[in-house]
Structure 1
Amino acid sequence: MSRVEQSIKLDLERIVFIGRTFEEYLDMFSLSAESLKGKKILDCPAGACSFTAVGSKHGLDVKAADIAYYHSEEDLYNKGLQDIEHAMELMDKAKSNYIWDYFKDINGLRKYRLSALNDCAKDIRKSSGRYVPVTLPSLLFNDAEFDILLSAHFLFMYADRLDYQFHITTLNELLRVTQEEIRIFPLVDLEGKRYEHLDKLIGYLADNGCLVEEVKVPYEFQANANSMLIIKKGNKERGSVQRYR
């Protein structure tokens, strides 16, 4: 195996390729398919989520962006299968940290994760142009290219690995490519604790003209992960903050 091949294999091993279903996205972000009609949508980072695949079948104009898409569909699918089984093994030991209203049990959760992976992998194979490889905090899109941007299970979750400046730099880039609004879910870290710099970050966004809302959503699997942040692009004047708890 060459050094390049070894590097690619190592990079893929560092990626966790697990995703959520289209239905989960609608609940996580308090959206309906009808409300997204006519919008240009970006899911970033999208991972193995089926939002782009199923959303396109519903007539939505949606693209997915993720560092994982530098790899082939076959490699990603196989990695996804491994990651799902590994996650299910870990989940069995940490069931008490989760709320089982949505999935009922681990077998139900596995079905959702496999469904998302299958739909995503098939769509990458068929319509690869919808899946854009990126390395945050940089995005290869034009200014205000998308009306709405959805970002799930990345920012805030990995507060132990991604520092505050990374969050600010990434949010500025997400805002650059978005014309109307960004929705981020959840607002907690992997331990279920509210992101420690969230108020500071919200203040930064408001100072830069954004309208920021912290909103409860009809979805909670990880305990305490039941709120999202809505960031609406504002004018040059100072923005504002609203919280709905």
Structure 2
Amino acid sequence: MSRGTKTKLDLDKVIFIGRTYEEYMDMFMLSEGDLKGKKILDCPSGACSFAASGQLKGWNTMAADIAYDHPAEDLVTKGREDLQHALTHMKNAESNYIWDYFQDLNQLQEYRERALHSCIEDMNKNSERYLPVQLPALPFKDNDFDMVLSAHFLFTYADRLNLQFHLDTLNELLRVAKEELRVFPLVDLEGNRYEHLDHVIQYLKDNGCYVEEVKVPYEFQKGANSMLKVNKNH
């Protein structure tokens, strides 16, 4: 897919909000030792700054998202609009969140704006590291990445992504992962544990994976404090 070709999903239907590199390290319980010498894919990565910050630290990071089929200037506008919409919603539902990681809405806005700025700046400089994709299909070779990270997509949108889509997407993310896949969080937008998670875990185990639910040092949305860690080799 080239940048000039629109994907089936219009940009106005994509939520383009990002998390920072520091949030990723906590969400996925990563250390710099986990990343050193590894090739890592963030998918779908949205406006997150993990790939950009990772490259600055010397990691081999790549980002993939359906939104990357659109020009960077459009994504900046979209990101700012989505952030303001999210902040307005949070003002009316602050009790749905735990205000330990962020002091208040102002600090949250600062983090989100920093992630967006870092993502877009790197996209303009290193566009080859930002691939437009449409899950559950990826344009990468088998075992192309040592580790794949996937945040705030699978399980989160359980109201619009059915079980088969989850299984197909997990299969594809694992296909391109040589060693490991990590998925965060394990709850839907209402904070409920994904209703088919036990089925998903058993499915992955039946296909030869070692699967763990791991508590992580990050909780902003209430209940969103665990990741799924999937190793392809026992």
Q: Give the C-alpha shift of residue 12 in structure 1.
A: 1.0
Residue equivalent to 1:16: 15
Same amino acid, percent of matched pairs = 63
**Which is greater in Rg?**
1
In structure 1, what is the equivalent of residue 79 of structure 2? Answer: 80
Counterpart in the other structure of 1:200: 199
Partner of 2:215: 216
User: Any conservation in 1 of the 2:49–2:119 contact (CA below 8 Å)?
Assistant: yes
Corresponding position of 1:108: 107
Asked if structure 1 preserves the Cα contact closer than 8 Å seen for 2:7 and 2:69, the reply is no
Question: What SS does the corresponding residue of 2:10 show, helix, strand or coil?
Answer: helix
Residue number in structure 1 paired with 2:181: 182
Shift in CA distance, 10/130, structure 1 to aligned 2, threshold 3 Å: closer
Residues 1:139 and 1:8: Cα distance change in structure 2 (over 3 Å): closer
What is the rounded CA distance, in whole Å, between the counterparts of 2:21 and 2:160 in structure 1?
A: 28
Q: Distance in 2 between matches of 1:9 and 1:212?
A: 33
Q: How big is the alpha-carbon RMSD for the aligned residues of Structure 1 and Structure 2? A: 1.5
Query: Equivalences for 1:9-48 in 2 at 5 Å?
Result: 11-48=10-47
CA 8–61 in structure 1, closer or farther in 2 if over 3 Å, else same: closer
Length, aligned pairs only: 230
Q: Secondary structure at the match of 1:116?
A: helix
1:145-186 CA distances to partner (integer Å, 9 max, x unpaired)? 000000000000011100000000001101110000000000
Instruction: Say if 1:10 and 1:38 are closer, same or farther in 2 by CA, change over 3 A.
Output: closer
Distance 1:144 1:35 in 2: 17
Quote the Cα distance in structure 2 between the aligned partners of 1:124 and 1:220: 28
Instruction: Tell me the distance in 1 between the aligned counterparts of 2:205 and 2:14.
Output: 33
Runs of 4+ in 1 over 4 A off after TM superposition: 7-10
Q: C-alpha distance in 2, partners of 1:120/1:103?
A: 21
Judged with a 3 Å threshold, the aligned counterparts in structure 2 of structure 1 residues 8 and 194 are, in CA distance, closer, same or farther, namely: closer
3-state SS of 1:150 partner: strand
List gaps (5 residues or longer) in structure 2. none
- Summarize the Cα distance change of 1:165–1:212 in structure 2 as closer, same or farther, 3 Å threshold: same
Question: What corresponds to 1:50 in structure 2?
Answer: 49
Q: Give the drift of 1:113.
A: 0.3
Distance 1:66 1:231, change over 3 A: same
Tell me the TM-score normalised to structure 2 length.
Answer: 0.96
Q: Which runs of 5+ in 1 are unaligned?
A: 236-245
